[in-house]
Amino acid sequence: MVKSHRRFRKVSYAKMAPIVERVTDIPVIELGEGPHWDIQTESLYFVDLFGKAIHRYVPRTGQCTKAEVGRPFFLIECPSNKTKTATSRSSPDIVVRMTSSGMSTLGHCPGKHVSVIIPIKGNCQQFVIGLERELSLVTWDGISEKPSKIEKIADVDKGTQNRMNDGKCDANGRLWVGTMGPEPINGHVEPDLGSLYSWNKGKLQQHLTNLGVSNGLAWSSDSKKFYFTDTFTYKVDEFDYDIENGTISNRKTIFTPNKHGIKGSPDGMTIDVDGNLWMALFNGYKIVKFDPRKPETLLKTIDIPAKQVTSLAWGGPQLDILYVTTAGFTVDGEVLPPPDHGATYQITGLGTKGLPAASCVLIMAPKILRVAEIPNLVLGEGPHWDIETQNLYIVDIFGKSIHKFNASTGQHSKAIFDKPVSFIVPVKGQRNKFVISLEREICVITWDGISERPSKIEKLAEVDQDTQNRINDGKCDPRGRLWAGTMGPEPEPGHFQPEAGSLFSLDGGEVTTFATKVGISNGLAWNTKLGKFYYNDSLVKRVDEFDYDINSGVISNRKTIFTFSKHDIDGLPDGMTIDADGNLWVAVFNGSSVIKIDPRKPETLLETIKVPAKQTTSVAWGGIDLNILYVTSASMTVDGVELLPPNHGATFQITGLGTKGLPADNFVSE
């Protein structure tokens, strides 16, 4: 039996009343705010706004840890010609400027208030926090006294002395955060200077202005309503909410505390599974429960033994514990002594429970970088990330070469052939073995990844015999079968013989043809959960879907799911991949872009990412976490238009896409 380490101070109330307990494992803090229960780690995160620290509390062990993120620092001069930083556990950071004049204190730089902490979805050690007017990404192990990394991702209310206050995420992981004016004296905030923002995909959008203190964010369970309070107005407002676009409209007041004789200012807020709102009352010694669907309907009040009740959040394994933060800072000479003021409380016996708090989906504005270690290619194609070796393999079709790139070392190598090679896929379980195409032949080669020529080439099959066709795109399905397609002759770059190609699979040494009269066979991807296969014939400018039987390797019931002309997309659909969310990413040849589409919703274009190369050819997920999208391109001269390096023909990597890929499947030999 595991002994519980939880320690609480029980506060006596009338019989059958909810039980309010001070969590004694959590120290008394000056301004506790922003409680967030993370269901993945079963931890309560919150901030000490004036203490400039983030906190983590694990009820199962009773462990409470904190990291200081907004500490003040002193600027000091001393002899030398460098600048360095020294820190102390018990004092502010000391920034030392080395000069030839001797050591002297130049000044004290105050730290930054920290107002929000929300975990990043899918990463238990990353959080988005508010630091004064900066949204920052913090890496913290939940134990150390300092985060290992702080990276600013956005600024709000630039050029002001404002600071952020409350912040939460909607069900889609979109961050909402509000600000308030300067507070030169505790409890005295300059009015009408705050704003309400949302942050999504690296973009900041302002929704409300002229706010006093932005507070109390909550959403209905169906995400159709958004609840908000500007503390200075002493009321709670409701908006219609568009979850897809992240917009609010039709503001109306639904609850006014002073109409019910309730003292204090509306502060943090949360919602329960029954659709009722729970709100903290700053300077009111209580929290209240009310029904937002019935304006001005007060359901319950619960007294808290702390005057400055700041916020609340549902937590615990069953989400039936209401955690309440408070403050204990001095306003107008009134001292609020510990242990009750500034404590964190838990309330049980409420007869309801909460909804899981949404984590932040980190979708930054995508960053596109050219991979300088990979040389410019004539026709870069067929990117394949091998998770076993953490290598990226690509081909140069017209350069008749295969390429290997190790992202961790930056090492690049290649091997040359006598015929065009259009794909390269490692052979599963066989080191230095790869399946490739050589014009119309499918071969297994032995290559050490270094030498300029393979040591062995073994022909497995030949397709489209007695033609001038060549194989184009090729990949393996989840069973390790090879799927590839052909295209007609290309007497001049960019000019193809139409309807001469085919689509086939190689399984157990047997070639099976599934489609004929193909223009340019391209873009292979699978969704095994849905039993779907996705395919492009570039010349018809569309993406098609087939039903897919993973056991037999048979495709059927072809239908179109995305048509370039319907979305005014210039260029041709080329290579394609799928992400972990089931969305497709398609390279647009002659379109300088990669598009993201939802194959489950025909004709749904989700995103367009511009690439600084006209002839974008293919895409593949890579990196340790499979969250880097590698993009190949070409630099062919078509109709006299010359495409110059360094961008045309380059290989690019795109990060900050907010999703990741699935491991690429390797070839299973007979």
> Residues within the annotated binding site?
381, 470, 472, 490, 522, 574
Cis peptide before 339 (omega within 30 of 0): yes
Tell me the β-bridge partners of 554: 549
Is-catalytic flag, 466?
no
How far apart are the C-alpha atoms of 258 and 262, rounded to whole Å? 5
Residue 538 — φ and ψ, nearest 5°? -55, -40
Task: Specify binding-site residues for substrate.
Answer: 470, 472, 490
Structure tokens at 377: 């290619």
244 burial (CB, 10 Å; 0-12 / 13-18 / 19+) is exposed
Q: Tell me, rounded to whole angstroms, the distance of Cα 279 from its chain centroid.
A: 30
Tell me the β-bridge partners of 385: 392
Task: Specify binding-site residues for a divalent metal cation.
Answer: 381, 522, 574
How far apart are the C-alpha atoms of 95 and 112, rounded to whole Å? 16
How far apart are the C-alpha atoms of 510 and 506, rounded to whole Å? 5
How far apart are the C-alpha atoms of 143 and 511, rounded to whole Å? 57
- Smallest CA-to-CA distance from 317 within 368, 353, 365 is with 353
Q: Which of 157, 320, 386, 574 is catalytic?
A: 574
Q: How far apart are the first and last CA of the chain?
A: 53
Q: Tell me, rounded to whole angstroms, the distance of Cα 410 from its chain centroid.
A: 26
Given a contact cutoff of 8 angstroms between Cβ atoms, the answer to whether 287 and 281 are in contact is yes
Residue type (1 letter), 108? H
Residue 358 — φ and ψ, nearest 5°? -75, 135
Given a contact cutoff of 8 angstroms between Cβ atoms, the answer to whether 340 and 305 are in contact is yes
Q: Residue 223: how many CB atoms within 10 A of its CB? A: 15
How far apart are the C-alpha atoms of 370 and 348, rounded to whole Å? 55
SS (HEC) of 103-167 = CEEEEEECCCCEEEEEEECCEEEEEEEEECCEEEEEECCCCCCCCCEEEEEEECCCCCCCEEEEE
Structure tokens at 124: 């238990």
How far apart are the C-alpha atoms of 37 and 117, rounded to whole Å? 10
Q: Which residues are catalytic?
A: 574
